[in-house]
């Protein structure tokens, strides 16, 4: 049994070297969800790399779930978080609910998409930040490669928050980029409570692409006040994928 595992690990390392810049993988940030972490190289989200996050369905436009997913990741890093946007509609209390305190966030409202890309790159090259999050509707291979190399040079986590003005523009999410992983986060109904009220939000989290890793669809509870995701009790021992929802609104 050990030989196939060793061969698979060697193959993943070789693919990572081919797709990357030849340097060894840096530290990782585990999600703490076994079903998710084991699909990622080294058992977590690679730091010092660029990652993409987008919303599914109507979330491709509002970007709320994707932003909270990114905030939960950023919240579990150390240091300040640079958050760059084009539109002035970032809801700070929502980020705090996902674990990212306001005093850790440096907000940048850029004039256009090009300025956002420039701010993200500068933030990644700085080296003194825990994470850099940037709203980027369009992300070419050239631009993503620059951001990825900047992240690799400093060891800072980069999160490209893909968000579009029209849902039809979300087809751009299928174009290749240099990002290490690509995620799509869609809203699901929360679990019913035995008393009046609203339960913890739920997401369909899709790991669409992972270099030297595996894809995955999994239903999870949204980030809590510490930035951590949760496994719903009613699906903890059952299938991870939300098949019915995937066939519907999140196609």
Higher pLDDT, 155 or 236: 155
- Pairing mode, if any, of strands 216-221 and 105-109? unpaired
For residues 12 and 15, give the distance between their C-alpha atoms in angstroms, rounded to a whole number. 5
Residue 235: pLDDT band (50, 70, 90) is low
Residue range 217-233: mean pLDDT, rounded: 94
pLDDT digits (tens, 9 = 90+) for 95-153: 999 999 999 999 999 889 999 999 999 999 999 999 999 999 999 999 999 999 999 99
Domains detected in the chain: 2-247 (3.40.50.300)
Residue 5: pLDDT band (50, 70, 90) is low
Confidence at residue 174, expressed as pLDDT on a 0 to 100 scale: 86
Confidence at residue 7, expressed as pLDDT on a 0 to 100 scale: 67
How many beta carbons lie within 10 A of that of residue 179, not counting itself?
Answer: 25
**81 in Cβ contact with 87 (< 8 Å):** no
Residue 116's φ and ψ, nearest 5 degrees, are: -60, -45
Confidence at residue 15, expressed as pLDDT on a 0 to 100 scale: 55
For residues 189 and 176, give the distance between their C-alpha atoms in angstroms, rounded to a whole number. 31
Collapsed DSSP state (helix, strand, coil) of residue 59 = helix
Structure tokens at 166: 């029209």
For residues 199 and 222, give the distance between their C-alpha atoms in angstroms, rounded to a whole number. 11
**Distances, alpha carbon 235 to alpha carbons 18, 27, 217, in Å:** 37, 30, 13
Confidence at residue 45, expressed as pLDDT on a 0 to 100 scale: 96
For residues 185 and 235, give the distance between their C-alpha atoms in angstroms, rounded to a whole number. 18
Residue range 74-97: mean pLDDT, rounded: 93
Residue whose entry in the numeric block shows the structure tokens 């840096």: 26
Residue 14: pLDDT band (50, 70, 90) is low
Structure tokens at 58: 């109507």
Model's pTM, two decimal places? 0.84
């Amino acid at each position: 049994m050990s030989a196939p595992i060793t061969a698979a690990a060697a193959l993943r390392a070789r693919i990572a070297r081919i797709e990357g810049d030849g340097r060894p993988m840096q530290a990782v940030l585990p999600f703490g969800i076994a079903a998710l972490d084991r699909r990622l190289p080294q058992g977590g989200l690679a730091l010092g790399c660029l990652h993409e996050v987008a919303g599914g369905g109507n979330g491709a436009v509002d970007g709320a779930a994707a932003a909270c997913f990114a905030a939960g990741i950023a919240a579990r890093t150390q240091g300040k978080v640079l958050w760059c946007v084009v539109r002035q509609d970032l809801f700070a209390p929502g980020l705090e609910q996902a674990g990212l305190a306001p005093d850790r966030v440096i907000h940048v409202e850029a004039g256009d998409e090009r300025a956002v890309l420039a701010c993200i790159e500068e933030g990644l090259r700085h080296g003194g930040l825990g994470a850099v999050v940037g709203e980027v509707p369009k992300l070419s291979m050239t631009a993503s490669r620059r951001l990825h190399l900047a992240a690799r040079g400093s060891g800072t986590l980069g999160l490209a928050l893909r968000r579009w003005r029209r849902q039809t523009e979300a087809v751009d999410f299928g174009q290749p980029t240099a990002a290490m992983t690509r995620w799509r986060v869609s809203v699901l109904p929360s679990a019913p409570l035995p008393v009046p009220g609203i339960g913890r939000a739920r997401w369909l989290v899709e790991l669409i692409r992972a270099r030297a890793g595996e894809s995955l669809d999994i239903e999870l509870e949204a980030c809590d006040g510490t930035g951590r995701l949760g496994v719903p009790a009613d699906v903890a021992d059952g299938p991870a994928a939300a098949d019915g929802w995937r066939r519907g609104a999140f196609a």
